[in-house]
Amino acid sequence: MPHLLLLEDDAGLIDGLAYALPKNGFSVDIARSLAEARACLHKQRYDLLLLDVTLPDGSGFSLCESVRAASDPVPIIFLTASGEETHIIHGLDLGADDYITKPFRLGELCSRIRARLRRTSDGRLLRSGTLTVDRLAGRAVWNGRTLDLTAAEYRLLCLLMENCGKTLSRTAILDALWDGQGSFVDDNTLSVYIRRLREKVEDDPSRPARLLTVRGLGYRWKGEQP
């Protein structure tokens, strides 16, 4: 069940969506202010954000801006009472994916949500805990920070995450990791890539919890719940 964050201060709309969204296959957390929304985002990863524009302590625009500044690709839909073109353009320029003007039909909102979720589940995004790889942008983000990866490290990370939970032999990894010039990566270089990648995605590289060595077999990416 996709997990949504609804940032809204209209009590009537909150009550309606808190009832209707689960009926349509979505779980939802409610935030009534920017401060509450930031606290939710600090402790939980969401599949999509529904953001009101006008709030008691600011604007949903500022939350969208901070989410995108952290390179978080989570889909964002604005719920706005204003159909003014300048507001719509501003939200989209900040990185929002869509908007819907109040009052809206529930069916239309759910359709927009599903459309955005399909676009993020078509293989573009790989997620493991607080680590997200956006394959369209060619970027990996961990704990809100964009990782500085070489091309080979990035391909290795994608390969492992795509096969989360599966043990990949060194031979299979070597066969998959072309250097971009038509030459295979050699066995010693693979060991270097593994070590460097651990330094970038592990809290303690000497005791890896994500990129595991399976002795005599190869390597396995241990999945984490978002």
Q: What is the largest CA-CA distance in the chain?
A: 62
Q: How many CB atoms lie within 10 A of CB 195?
A: 11
Instruction: Centre a 10 Å sphere on the Cβ of residue 161 and count the other Cβ atoms it contains.
Output: 21
Long-range CB contacts for residues 138-144, cutoff 8 Å, separation at least 24: 139/71, 141/70, 141/71, 141/72, 141/73, 142/200, 142/201, 144/70, 144/71, 144/72
pLDDT in tens, 213-226: 999 899 999 976 44
Q: Domains of the chain: which residue ranges? A: 3-120, 125-221
Predicted model pTM: 0.60
> Would you say residue 76 has pLDDT above 90?
yes
User: What is the arithmetic mean of pLDDT over 147-153?
Assistant: 88
Look at residue 71 in the predicted model and tell me its pLDDT. Answer: 67
Confidence band for 188, pLDDT divided at 50, 70 and 90: confident
Mean pLDDT of the chain: 87
* Topology of the domain comprising 125-221: Arc Repressor Mutant, subunit A (1.10.10)
pLDDT of residue 221: 94
Query: With 80 as the cut, is the pLDDT of residue 183 above it?
Result: no
- Dump pLDDT digits (tens) for 84-124: 778 888 888 998 989 998 889 999 999 999 988 877 665 67
Q: What is the pLDDT of residue 182?
A: 42
Cα 21 to Cα 33: distance, rounded to the nearest angstrom? 20
pLDDT at position 103, please? Answer: 87
Query: What percent of the chain stands above pLDDT 90?
Result: 50
184-203 mean pLDDT: 85
Contacts of 63 (CB under 8 A, 6+ apart): 7, 34, 37, 38, 49, 51
Give the pLDDT score at 171.
86
- Which segment, 127-131, 142-146, 156-160, 185-189, is predicted with the most confidence on average? 156-160
Q: Which CATH superfamily is domain 3-120 in?
A: Response regulator (3.40.50.2300)
What mean pLDDT comes out for the span 57-77? 89
Query: Do the domains spanning 3-120 and 125-221 agree at the CATH topology level?
Result: no
